[in-house]
Structure 1
């Protein structure tokens, strides 16, 4: 369907953070997409950082990278995985970006000498960005980060209020996600937090039409009726979002709760009937698979697994499409020593991306174990770089081999930093982002040429060229290429002379890639190399 009058669905959160606004937004967008609409989605982050690129994983979780090279909030990853589509930089903006844009316009004289204020100038910039993202779509789902009542979120709520005033009730819908806590000592679910949260919204002129009640237990009809009366919404507009076994079950749960009926009624649409058969089948395979496989996930941010969110989700996608449960064995690389007993019962070993020297030696030990014991192996980004270092140390016999990231004065920089890569024709080919912390980073989507008959090419269904996303500062040093190849290391992927992927000649399945395949994996379209890795690991079971 095509409709030039884009409809906007705003999703806000109350009581506390981490209620699942991102999954709620993704689920609603998924149901609309499967109803035949063109749907886009936007995440607004109220923090003043320009983007999460310099924020610690312990502070913010994973940084997701879009195809156009933007470092964004991890919710953008959820949106792509649910909608099975690639988003762009414009689908995530922050308060820092809004204020910077307004200040730059003021410096250029675009406001004709007026005093710059939150209302109208900041709010107008917010509305302009929201509408520009919605262009060409039937629906734009807008998730506002943070919690209602937060000081930094007030300009966005004002933008919501003004858009509803300007566009009318049939084009702007407000959905509020709130907590209905279960008090164990009283053995009761309490609605007061929801009532107070909605009162806060109504105080500033926003009346949500739908309440999504997050709860660890089901709500009775009487309790839903109580919430509907106290929050002034229709009885069928209180949607229970009970804890689910899988996030991909949430759209189906919403469908069962009949969320599309109040959405259609409020936006003056005919009844919506999404086709969720394929989705339902995949979810059943996530929840009740017929097989299982154990993957050793060797990383260093294991105290916060959100740092690897896209990768763990990609493993779930692969498992669902293979009717297998992927059991992740979390292995802290800092605690991994020459005693490799923890690796013995694994069906596959995975080394994810990362930065810094901490935990590197443990990862190298895991790589060596996978290589010597013929265990299916996948290395990603830093995982590929460490695979080259391990090979150089233990096959080539160059014990000093390392990365200039770990030793800037090394005599054997098998991995090194390049500010700008110039190809043989003298053209600059690398899109880099200059970091305030120093150095540059290769970001976004690039083409990769695959070696004929390689394991990697077979994984990608014999394609000659693929496109995958990057986020890294260091590259494999081509100076050592011939030395590595002579001893059985195969360069199976290249991009303008850069080494993009490697594999081993005498190993059942040992593949490592410089790019991040997890960023392009979706439930209905799993990434090929991750899918093949899990498939090969299943063979070892």
Structure 2
């Protein structure tokens, strides 16, 4: 049985359970342990794939094509381990699995109930996701007291009872608010949160106390007395300007030693040198750039969480501070390209639907004509193709069929619209299944030698994660290639365009990809496309010559 650390939250949501759990995982990994993580989400959606970015934020995609909560992005950025659909489970998935079993008659005609059937399915999923590792962290979404979370909390209570205290422990993250008017930290919310947790049979072994101010020893003692948690296990999780300092901060307070002692793990000494290098590069930059991110959901930046982090990682690899200027693509439509003035590079991320798409096209046109480094991702690639088709290749009215089904030049479309046996364009009916051509997960692509993309990767074949329905229409490939657009990468069977770019005699750095490389970027390693993009932005800012060389 893999030892388990269950991570719960109290008082309010958005306290940072995911980052706190991932930070502990990073320390345990730095001590030589094989670590995995899992998220149990209480919402009834089977996954967040159909949820609005405004409400839910980013949909994170794993290698095997699972559409998951953005916390899995935190996990993969802090760990060396790649996760899968097993590592993200929702209430909807649990009930779907149970109902399928009931329909197949697996319960022998018995009444299906929350206990034991739902809780047994939750426990089965936990075992499936965590077996084979030295230790696993399992985060329960939401807060204690939420009615939606109760089946998950009951399941983990049962696991602790079944396995014992040396195979399963509870870590509870709670708020210790700072009351500015009184000039005091208040521990009462934490006391009540733990009381609520204990009322359902769970006694926390460790408390992470999130606060704006460091937790004084007197307050730690008070919390320990009221919650029946050892004082050394009351950990101060103070707000930090740099989230990559958190592993060091937790290690300094002995959090990893507490976990190792309680779970009787065999671990080596802690080596956080890689994280020390990340923190040092972040806090002592030698250069800085401003990157404009032109998207459809910038008022809710969690929708682009991995993009923002990947841009910063690209800067870390060369000790460059990356300032992000979030720009709404509809503002580009309404106010013109002047809103793009004064930035060193432009990134256009993914999205769906026609709202703001013309603003993305105008952004690609501006970057192309003004020589501003341009990085297009998914919808950002499609916008760049539409711009080039309209304004360089002379294909008036070129568009994506996602936005204009009657376009005379559908340079972007569903595969079923342009790839037929006869080569004729097949128009999508209103009844067609939008999910029928969704490409999800890690897929390999072949990069053309001599291109910017090949120079960035230094490889002939790379794998990137995808999440999209619409593709470049190959019927226009020769026409756009003759007009000067470079098709620098294709799928392994040569049927789908993966990357486009401009030759460097036409533009210093213009590249767009259909995949989502941000999902494979980490603070310790970065991603070659983001590193190259930030370097190009530095060169533009420096007038074509870098003021200071990168320190990787």
Q: Which TM-score applies when normalising by structure 1?
A: 0.95
Q: Quick one: distance in 2 between partners of 1:93 and 1:421? A: 36
Of 347, 350, 362, the residue aligned with 1:353 is: 350
Matched, 1:319 2:315: yes
Q: Quick one: distance in 2 between partners of 1:106 and 1:334? A: 48
Q: Quick one: distance in 1 between partners of 2:418 and 2:397? A: 26
Q: Quick one: distance in 1 between partners of 2:87 and 2:417? A: 28
Of 39, 54, 77, the residue aligned with 1:81 is: 77
Structure 2 counterparts to residues 54-133 of structure 1, below 5 A: 54-133=50-129
Contact 1:442 1:473 in 2 (8 A): yes
Structure 2 counterparts to residues 383-532 of structure 1, below 5 A: 383-419=380-416, 439-461=436-458, 463-495=459-491, 496=493, 497-505=495-503, 506-532=506-532
Structure 2 counterparts to residues 332-351 of structure 1, below 5 A: 332-337=328-333, 339-351=336-348
Structure 1 equivalent of residue 7 of structure 2: 11
Structure 2 equivalent of residue 430 of structure 1: none
Structure 2 equivalent of residue 28 of structure 1: 24
Which deviations, in whole Å up to 9, do the C-alpha atoms of 1:134-183 show, x marking residues without a partner? 11101110000011011111111111111111111111010000000111
Judged with a 3 Å threshold, the aligned counterparts in structure 2 of structure 1 residues 48 and 437 are, in CA distance, closer, same or farther, namely farther
Q: Quick one: distance in 2 between partners of 1:8 and 1:15? A: 23
Structure 1 equivalent of residue 539 of structure 2: 539
Question: Greater shift after overlay, 293-302 or 342-351?
Answer: 342-351
Which deviations, in whole Å up to 9, do the C-alpha atoms of 1:259-313 show, x marking residues without a partner? 1122122112467632101111111211331210111111121110000001001
Which deviations, in whole Å up to 9, do the C-alpha atoms of 1:160-215 show, x marking residues without a partner? 11111111111101000000011111111110110011111111111101000000
SS in 1 for 2:259: helix
Matched, 1:375 2:372: yes
Which deviations, in whole Å up to 9, do the C-alpha atoms of 1:329-381 show, x marking residues without a partner? 11111111574333232111111111111111221121111111111111010
Q: Quick one: distance in 2 between partners of 1:143 and 1:130? A: 11
Matched, 1:216 2:209: no
Judged with a 3 Å threshold, the aligned counterparts in structure 2 of structure 1 residues 218 and 272 are, in CA distance, closer, same or farther, namely farther
SS in 1 for 2:12: coil
Of 284, 292, 297, the residue aligned with 2:288 is: 292
Q: Quick one: distance in 2 between partners of 1:439 and 1:358? A: 23
How many residue pairs get aligned? The number is 528
Matched, 1:256 2:252: yes
Contact 1:84 1:525 in 2 (8 A): no
Contact 2:364 2:387 in 1 (8 A): yes
SS in 2 for 1:336: helix
Contact 2:398 2:411 in 1 (8 A): yes
User: Which runs of 5 or more structure 1 residues have no equivalent in the other structure?
Assistant: 425-433
Q: Which TM-score applies when normalising by structure 2?
A: 0.93
Q: Quick one: distance in 1 between partners of 2:156 and 2:398? A: 56
Q: How much has 1:112 moved relative to structure 2?
A: 1.3
SS in 1 for 2:246: helix
Question: Greater shift after overlay, 260-269 or 35-44?
Answer: 260-269
Structure 1 equivalent of residue 360 of structure 2: 363
Structure 2 equivalent of residue 304 of structure 1: 300
Matched, 1:49 2:45: yes
Matched, 1:233 2:191: no
Contact 2:418 2:475 in 1 (8 A): no
Q: Quick one: distance in 2 between partners of 1:401 and 1:349? A: 23
SS in 1 for 2:518: helix
Q: Quick one: distance in 1 between partners of 2:432 and 2:43? A: 18
Question: Greater shift after overlay, 126-135 or 303-312?
Answer: 126-135
Q: Quick one: distance in 1 between partners of 2:454 and 2:80? A: 23
Contact 1:84 1:524 in 2 (8 A): no
Q: Quick one: distance in 2 between partners of 1:139 and 1:381? A: 36
Contact 2:38 2:87 in 1 (8 A): yes
Q: How much has 1:422 moved relative to structure 2?
A: 7.3
Q: Quick one: distance in 2 between partners of 1:41 and 1:355? A: 30
Q: CA RMSD in A?
A: 1.8
Which deviations, in whole Å up to 9, do the C-alpha atoms of 1:427-483 show, x marking residues without a partner? xxxxxxx9987654111111110001110011002x111100111110011111111
SS in 1 for 2:438: strand
Judged with a 3 Å threshold, the aligned counterparts in structure 2 of structure 1 residues 436 and 215 are, in CA distance, closer, same or farther, namely farther
Q: Quick one: distance in 1 between partners of 2:145 and 2:437? A: 38
Q: How much has 1:229 moved relative to structure 2?
A: 0.9
Of 157, 164, 168, the residue aligned with 1:168 is: 164
Contact 2:435 2:469 in 1 (8 A): no
